[in-house]
Amino acid sequence: METMTSLERVLMTLGHKEPDRVPVFLLMTMHGAKELGMTIKEYFSDGRNVAEGQLRLFSKYGNDCLYAFFYAPVVVEAWGGEVIYREDGPPNSGEPFIRRSEDILKLNVPDVSRQKCLLKVLDAIKLMKEKTEDKAPIIGVVMSPFSLPVMQMGFEKYIEILYERPDLFQRLMQVNEEFTVAWGNAQLNAGATALAYFDPVSSSTIIPRDLYLRSGYQVAKRTIARFKGPAAYHLASGRALLVIEDVATTGTPIISASSLENLAEMKNRCRNKITILGNLNGIEMCRWTPDEAEKVVKEALKTAGPGGGFILSDNHGEIPFQVEEETLFSISETVKKFGNYPISIR
C-alpha cells in the first residue's frame, strides 16, 4: 500500500479499516517550548510560538496530528480565572473564581471573540492550517461543560451541587454548554479538523455510571450535537470500560483508553463501533528507556491494531514535559517499524 498522508491514515482508521499503518498521536503541549528554546510561559504567550512548535514536533517525530491544546485553565482564564505557570509542567488553575455556589446564578457566558487568551489559540490553529494544507488533522480542545466546574469552583463544591442542588447544577450546565459550544466551533472555524472533548469527571474512576447517565452523558449528547465537526471523547486517564457503549451513542467517533484497563477487552468492546485512542502510560513514560518504550508500543499495536479502529497515543491527552526525546523517537519509530498493516507482531 502506498504511504498515506496523516489525515488519510486517520480517516481510514476511523472507518474501522486498515490503512498503511497505525496512526500515532504524540500529544505534546510543552515540548514545543524546548524546540524553540523558550520558557513555558513565554511559549504560550503567543499563538505563533505554539504553531511553530507544533509544526516542528510534527516533522521531528513523524506525528500524525498537530495539537492546538495550550493548557487546561485557558478556559477558566476566559472567565477571569487565575493561571499559575510552572517551569517544568503545565500551567494550572489558581483559586476558583466561583467562591459561593450561589454565584452560579450571576454567571455570564464570556464572548469567545473578545478573550485574548482564546484568540491566541485561534491564531495558532490558523497558522497550522496554512502550513499543513489538510495533510494532517489539527486537533482543537474543549473542556466538557460537565468537567469544567472542577476548575471553576473546586471539586468539593461541585460535587455538593451535583448531588444536592439540581437547580444550580442545571444553571451551571446551561452557561457552560453555551461557552463550550461557542469555543469549540470557533476552533473548528479557525481550521481545526476535530475537537478533543475532555470529560474526566464522567469517567467511572470519578462517578458511578448511573450518575453519569443522568448528568455528564446528557450534557455530552447535547453539546457534541452542536459542534460543527467531530469531537473525540477523552476521559483524561479515567477508566472507560463501563461507559463505552454509552459514550458511543453521544455522537463521538473516538474514546480514550486508560492505561489501567485491559486493552484487549477494550478492543473487543469497541470493535467496529468506536475508535480507541491510547493507552500509553504518560507517567511511566517519563522513566522509560527506548527499549522499554518499544516493548510497550509493540504490545499495544499487537493487541489493538488489527482491523483498524486504533490510534496509538498516551492515556492522558498530554505527554509530560519530562519525557525525553529518545523515548518519543522510540515510540514513533516502533510504530513505523511494527505498526504497518497487516500487523504481524509475535
For the domain that residue 73 is a member of, what is the CATH number?
A: 3.20.20.210
Asked if the structure places residue 258 within a domain, the reply is yes
- Show the cell assigned to 143: 473542556
Instruction: Kindly give the interhelix angle for 325-338 and 47-61, rounded to the nearest 10 degrees.
Output: 50
Asked if the structure places residue 1 within a domain, the reply is no
Asked if the structure places residue 32 within a domain, the reply is yes
Asked if the structure places residue 344 within a domain, the reply is no
Range of the domain at 215: 6-338
Whether the Cβ atoms of residue 261 and residue 224 lie closer than 8 Å to each other: no
pLDDT score, position 2: 62
pLDDT score, position 1: 55
Asked if the structure places residue 345 within a domain, the reply is no
pTM listed for this prediction = 0.97
Long-range contacts (CB closer than 8 Å, 24 or more residues apart) made by 222-227? 222/177, 223/144, 223/145, 223/177, 223/180, 223/181, 223/184, 223/197, 224/197, 224/250, 224/251, 224/252, 225/251, 226/177, 226/181, 226/185, 227/181, 227/184, 227/185, 227/188, 227/195
Domain count, the chain: 1
Cα distances (angstroms) measured from residue 341 to each of 2, 70, 269, 328: 11, 33, 22, 22
Which residues of the chain are modeled with pLDDT < 50?
Answer: none
pLDDT score, position 133: 86
pLDDT score, position 91: 96
